[in-house]
Amino acid sequence: MPSHPKLADEFIKDKERAKWHDQSLWFVRSKRDKAVHQLPEWELLREQASKIKSYVVSHLPDLLEEFEKNAKAKGVHVHWARDAKEHNEIVHSILEKHQVKRVVKSKSMLTEECHLNPYLERHGIEIVDTDLGEWIVQLQDKPPSHIVMPAIHIKKEEIGELFHEKLGTEKGASDPQYLTESARQRLRQKFIEADAGITGVNFAIAETGGFVVCTNEGNADLGTSLNKLHIACMGIEKLIPRASDLSVFLRLLARSATGQPITTYSSHFHGPAPDSELHIVLLDNGRSEIADSDEFRRSLNCIRCGACMNTCPVYRRSGGYSYSNTVPGPIGSILGAAHDTKANSSLPFACSLCASCTDVCPVKIDLHHQLLTWRKEIRLKGLLPLSKRLSMKMMSWMMQAPRLYQFVGKMARKIVPYLPRFLVYNPFNAWGKQRELPDMPKQSFREWMKQNHDRK
């Protein structure tokens, strides 16, 4: 897999696009700031949410059992999947049993994580993502680049072009209203034709056995109420203990995600409608392993609001695809490293450790510390490139020997100023590609001290 710096470098080559991407996401971050600064109790809410989630993650087995019991009592079919493969097989078998040929889906990053779409398509089932953004990337045959705004990286002119090609809209049209309306018409048709609806789950409530799906387009409701079969796919960490906890999370989620006070639709599902079937597939896929780890357990607090992506200066300038992971950005780098450390070993380094993600996260995940901890793990696992390992070793030796350190510094200060420019600014000097090196002073501070400062 190409490393993050390599993909980021490619993304930035188109400077204008990278700038535009940065600004679009910063706009969302600014909206978030305005929204949260209107709530004096914001930090209290975060604290509460963090405590509730930490409780959930450390009591997962009990709460899951409670949830299963209560969901079953409401007539919900509950399934357990260990990994992505099992998850897809379960979904497929339910669809097969009902002889479903067409499915509408409403935002679920979990099914992206499992690559459910291609799996079902291979089995002759049409599956349509009905969130506008996700449908756009589906039409492009690409994954989402952001977990809340899946098509944030695509310009409206490009969408016009895509729609012209796939939906037959007017050539050259880029008016969002016109394009959205055209998409709506086509999606409506898909809703009507479909035999089953798949949704994600934002919050599942152990106490009641019900769950909540938050959307801005209302497509979860449409997809599930027009059909007699609803399959909800959720990661096992999506639980909250009580119905009364929900208010905390609903207030945090939308504000963090888009700066809205609440998502337009928060749809509650407590059992199947008359004559209908409701299935829930609970997926582990490495989550219980993370729950067992003291260092990374807190990453399961994540409610997938996407705020850490919007604020991340690296994500904004490198785009979601540079992470090669279903969930990009700071939280994605942590989860990606946990899922496959070797393949994702460059992700924890795609971070300047500015810590803005940690301050923005509504459930108070210490994201930048976990990224730093991942760097240690990567070093321990021997996945750090030799060049980095060696240079750090050498630096450490030198710094343990003050005389050697002084000598090396002195030599550099003596030699570098006399070197011809092409020797200093060569292709091996990544610093010097777009930056000047500092001017070498005549003396170090300690040399100055010796000469000028009276020692006691």
Q: How far is CA 341 from the centre of its chain?
A: 16
Q: Which of residues 281-340 bind other proteins (CB under 8 A)?
A: 311, 313-314, 317-318
Residue 54 CB, shortest distance to ligand SF4, in Å, is 13
- Asked if residues 81 and 282 have their Cβ atoms less than 8 Å apart, the reply is yes
Q: Which of residues 149-178 bind other proteins (CB under 8 A)?
A: none
Is the Cβ of residue 171 or residue 376 nearer to other proteins in the bound state?
A: 376
**Is 414 one of the binding residues for other proteins (CB under 8 A)?**
no
Q: List the alpha helices (DSSP H) in 282-424.
A: 287-291, 307-311, 313-318, 329-339, 356-360, 367-380, 386-400, 402-415, 421-424
**Is 36 one of the binding residues for ligand SF4 (CB under 6 A)?**
no
Selected binder of ligand SF4 within 335, 363, 371, 378 (CB under 6 A): 363
Q: What does the per-residue mask of binding to ligand SF4 show for 255-274, with x meaning CB under 6 A?
A: -x------------------
Q: What share of the chain is helix, strand, coil (3-state, %, to 5)?
A: 55, 10, 35
* Residue positions counted in the chain: 456
DSSP category for residue 436: P
What is the crossing angle of helices 156-167 and 132-139, to 10°?
70
Q: Which of residues 335-394 bind other proteins (CB under 8 A)?
A: 349-356, 358-360, 372, 374-380, 384, 388-389, 392-393
Q: How far is CA 97 from the centre of its chain?
A: 33
Q: What does the per-residue mask of binding to ligand SF4 show for 306-325, with x meaning CB under 6 A?
A: xxx-----------------
Selected binder of other proteins within 81, 431, 451, 454 (CB under 8 A): 431
What's the CA gap between 103 and 264, in Å, rounded? 23
Q: Which of residues 204-233 bind ligand SF4 (CB under 6 A)?
A: none
Selected binder of other proteins within 18, 78, 154, 424 (CB under 8 A): 18
Return the one option of ligand SF4, other proteins, none that residue 114 interacts with (CB less than 5 to 8 A, by type).
none
DSSP category for residue 172: T
59 phi and psi angles, rounded to 5 deg: -120, 30
Which residue type sits at 126?
E
Selected binder of ligand SF4 within 64, 194, 331, 337 (CB under 6 A): 331
How large is the C-alpha radius of gyration of the chain? 26
Is the Cβ of residue 69 or residue 446 nearer to other proteins in the bound state?
A: 446
Number of residues near other proteins (by CB under 8 A): 74
Q: 């924890």: which residue's tokens?
A: 348
By the 10 Å C-beta count (0-12 exposed, 13-18 middle, 19+ buried), 86 is classed as middle
Q: Which of residues 51-70 bind other proteins (CB under 8 A)?
A: none
Selected binder of ligand SF4 within 128, 305, 347, 371 (CB under 6 A): 305
**Is 152 one of the binding residues for ligand SF4 (CB under 6 A)?**
no
- Asked if residues 159 and 179 have their Cβ atoms less than 8 Å apart, the reply is yes
**Is 362 one of the binding residues for ligand SF4 (CB under 6 A)?**
yes
CA pseudo-torsion sign 138, 141, 147, 152: negative
In sequence order, the β-bridge partners of residue 268 are 212
What's the CA gap between 386 and 392, in Å, rounded? 10
Return the one option of other proteins, ligand SF4, none that residue 435 interacts with (CB less than 5 to 8 A, by type).
other proteins
What's the CA gap between 40 and 22, in Å, rounded? 29
The two three-digit tokens of residue 69, written as one number: 């019991």
**Is 447 one of the binding residues for other proteins (CB under 8 A)?**
yes
**Is 361 one of the binding residues for ligand SF4 (CB under 6 A)?**
yes
Return the one option of ligand SF4, other proteins, none that residue 196 interacts with (CB less than 5 to 8 A, by type).
none
Selected binder of other proteins within 177, 274, 445, 454 (CB under 8 A): 445
- Asked if residues 281 and 91 have their Cβ atoms less than 8 Å apart, the reply is yes
**Is 302 one of the binding residues for ligand SF4 (CB under 6 A)?**
yes
Number of residues near ligand SF4 (by CB under 6 A): 15
Stretch that binds other proteins, among 106-114, 168-176, 335-343, 439-447 (CB under 8 A): 439-447
Using CB under 6 A as the criterion, which residues of the chain lie in contact with ligand SF4 when the complex forms?
A: 256, 302-308, 331, 360-363, 365, 367
